[in-house]
Amino acid sequence: MRVDAFGEGWPPRSGARPAFALCADDFAMTEGVSQAILSLAAQGRLSATSVMTTMPRWREFAPALREREAELAIGLHLNLTLGRPATAMATLAPDGRLPAFGGLATQSLTGRLRDRAARNELTAEIGAQLDLFTEAFGREPDYVDGHQHVHVLPGIRGALLACLRSRGLAGRLWLRDPSEKIAAILSRRGPMAKAVVIATLAKGWREAAIAAGFATNHGFAGVSAFRSTGDFGTEFASFLVAPGPRHLVMCHPGGMPRPSEADAELRALDPVVDSRPMEFAFLRSPRFAEICAAAGLALMPGSALRLQGVSTGAWQV
């Protein structure tokens, strides 16, 4: 498969309209997040979900997700900033806890992640997280992205590409590109500074991935202010403005099985709590389909996002 052909192989049909992929991040972070994602998958409201294999309850939730493989592309949400690593990391996690994003980004931008010890630790940790996925699913992930987009940080991106290539995965999975054109970011009127920072950190990532033999999405949205009040439907509609040719939207639903109650488990782990039930409620509502139709976009099936043993897929249905 030509790397640049990803997303171009879906058989055209009369009346076909452009499509976008919708990915729910953070599966296995908590029960509430995982149950919400499973519920949306059962309703056909997602294209993909990204899983955190380092979380304590990963093995508990993985079997239920495996039952949804027919409907969803399932990827590895590489985690280097939350909880405990899968391996011993004397340099990057000397106290047995992964660093916060700010600390990791500082090490990345100052070149410290290119040190031999740090690179060896990153390579081992990436491999261990991939192995935990394979242990649960009996196969490699359909794609790889990163919690807080850590996979694109300098020093980490090189270790990730080298690890994947060493496993013969070039051309067999795709990689998330969280960057977006500045014009598209401005047209969506969302948290522009946050989206621009992400795009800046990801500069050169897509080109590096393609040069290494990996396909990527082309167009990215879903950068949110994670407000606890307001109308998430309006925010979601902005994610569909100025879509890229292989448009990927991320989301962060949660709140199951008791949407009205605070998720204490989640609150102890992550600052994004109160917005998750709002996302879940919108995505399962009739308004989700109405907004997609108004934007002239269809939701891509998960099968179109797999490169292993199925059609190449396309961003058009």
Contact 233, 284 (CB under 8 A): no
Measure the CA dihedral 19/313/142/279, to 10°.
Answer: 10
Q: How much is the pLDDT for 11?
A: 33
Let me know if 234 is exposed, middle or buried by CB neighbors in 10 A (0-12, 13-18, 19+): exposed
pLDDT, one tens digit per residue, over 91-119 is 999 999 999 999 999 999 999 999 999 99
Helix (H) / strand (E) containing 21: strand 19-27
Q: β-strands 143-146, 248-251: how paired?
A: unpaired
| CA atoms of 20 and 18, how far apart (whole Å) | 7
Per the domain annotation, does 314 fall within a domain? no
CATH number at residue 52: 3.20.20.370
Q: Given pLDDT bands bounded at 50, 70 and 90, which one contains residue 268?
A: confident
Whether pTM > 0.75 for this model: the answer is yes
Q: How much is the pLDDT for 227?
A: 83
> Residues 142-153, buried b or exposed e (16+ Cβ, 10 A)?
bbbbbbbbbbbb
Residue 226 has pLDDT above 90, yes or no: no
**Three-state secondary-structure class, residue 172:** coil
Q: Given pLDDT bands bounded at 50, 70 and 90, which one contains residue 37?
A: very high
| CA atoms of 224 and 239, how far apart (whole Å) | 9
Tell me the residue range of the domain where 69 lies.
3-305
Per the domain annotation, does 310 fall within a domain? no
Per the domain annotation, does 125 fall within a domain? yes
How much is the average pLDDT of 24-38?
A: 95
How much is the average pLDDT of 71-90?
A: 97
Mean pLDDT of the chain: 90
| CA atoms of 13 and 9, how far apart (whole Å) | 12
Per the domain annotation, does 89 fall within a domain? yes
Residue 229 has pLDDT above 90, yes or no: no
- Looking at the structure of the chain, the number of domains it has is 1
Residue 315 has pLDDT above 60, yes or no: no
Q: Given pLDDT bands bounded at 50, 70 and 90, which one contains residue 317?
A: very low
Q: Given pLDDT bands bounded at 50, 70 and 90, which one contains residue 258?
A: low
Per the domain annotation, does 263 fall within a domain? yes
**Three-state secondary-structure class, residue 216:** strand
Per the domain annotation, does 149 fall within a domain? yes
Share of the chain above pLDDT 90, in %: 80
Let me know if 237 is exposed, middle or buried by CB neighbors in 10 A (0-12, 13-18, 19+): middle
